Amino acid sequence: MSFNIDKIESAVAEARAKGKERGIKFEQSFDLAVNFRKRELDVSKPENRFNQEVILPHTLYPPAKVCAFGDGEFAEKAQAAGAERVVAKEEIPKIAEEKKTRKALAKTFDFFIASIDAMPLVGRYLGQALGSRGKMPKPFPPQADLAPIVNQYHRTVRIRMRHTPTFHVKVGHERMSDREIAENVAAILGFVDGKGHLEKIGNVVIKTTMGPSVKVTSWR
């Protein structure tokens, strides 16, 4: 389904303007809230809850942080591709020794990748810390081109909905244009449409970090 980008962009512009009216000096992000009608989306059923990655057309600022596990050629490629941290295989057990250290790693980074030969170590030592957050890494062979993979993660957000029929997700930053943010919003709505839940939406609102909420109306 195509969406009315102009209408979405208008709501983004309004949210930006209202955020500035508050005199906030630090740079703010744009957050989207999608609220479903309770009677139409029963989140007590696991199949109606979301926990999925969505690739946006435009990179957020700051982009999602990526950590890589591996040695040699894989490590070199991950670093060249823009991974914020590369963890050698011998470091993995050491990180796991301290609960605070492994929790900090899981919290600091949004996405993880690993060489195929590093996956058994990751699963053994960090599986609980990463798995409970839905952040277990995807394995790649040493010869894989990691540049497009890391670039894709820099444009990826995770949508999670648990016990209430609503989810919140970052869709932009003040450094981005209204059009870019609107197109990111459309990508999120496209994800909901793909799940077959578009008609169950009660309302969609967007806001800056500290600004008031603005309804996105007539987006279809």
Summarised one tens digit per residue, pLDDT across range 34-50 is 999 988 888 888 888 88
Confidence of residue 20 (pLDDT cuts 50, 70, 90): confident
Are residues 83 and 117 both part of a single domain?
A: yes
Contact between residue 219 and residue 39 where contact means Cβ atoms under 8 Å apart: no
Are residues 90 and 145 both part of a single domain?
A: yes
Are residues 146 and 73 both part of a single domain?
A: yes
Domain that holds residue 140: 66-153
Amino acid making up residue 205: V
Q: What is the pLDDT of residues 197-216, one digit of tens each?
A: 999 999 999 999 989 999 99
In this prediction the pTM is 0.86
User: Above 70 in pLDDT, residue 180?
Assistant: yes
Are residues 111 and 136 both part of a single domain?
A: yes
Position 22 scores a pLDDT of 67
The CATH number for 125's domain is 3.40.50.790
Average pLDDT across the chain, whole number = 92
Are residues 112 and 145 both part of a single domain?
A: yes
Position 9 scores a pLDDT of 96
Does residue 220 sit within a domain? no
Q: How many domains does the chain have?
A: 2
Q: What is the pLDDT of residues 97-132, one digit of tens each?
A: 999 999 999 999 999 999 999 999 999 999 999 998
The CATH number for 34's domain is 3.30.190.20
